[in-house]
Amino acid sequence: ALDVIRCARAAAAAGGGGPRLTCAVTPHHLLWSSSQMNGTAGLLYKVNPPLREPSDNIALRTALKQGEIDWIETDHAPHPLCDKIYPPYASGFPSLCLYRNLVEEVLPFWGMDEDAIRRVTCDNICRTFGISK
């Protein structure tokens, strides 16, 4: 998906026009890979879009730090976790519970400063949707 976003943005910048694009990522797509789906707890990690390879985590993290991803959004999965382990195996993860740890501990560990974190958690969203802070 990042490649599609990059190509569309490049075409628009080169004068090809097109719609204004935004791109967001969830905490679980930054933190987890498909390897979490192995073992007995694997169904808890069933999300849509699905988790990918560890190299995709790195690509998403890099794109976030470089400003190619506009903001971090959460998957407000409304179902209890027990719905994930019994048929029909609900998809999604209530990633709001991951958000605080990601913002306060993980993003600084990855080298994002306060200004960069503010951009991907508030400023870019407000600017895109015309919300005053």
Could you list the active site residues?
A: 75
How far apart are alpha carbons 92 and 33 in whole angstroms?
14
Show the beta-strand stretches assigned E in 12-116: 24-25, 71-72
Of 80, 73, 96, nearest in space to 44 by CA: 80
Of 24, 19, 17, 18, nearest in space to 2 by CA: 24
Q: Phi first, then psi: what are they for 24, rounded to 5°? A: -130, 165
Q: Which amino acid is at 56?
A: D
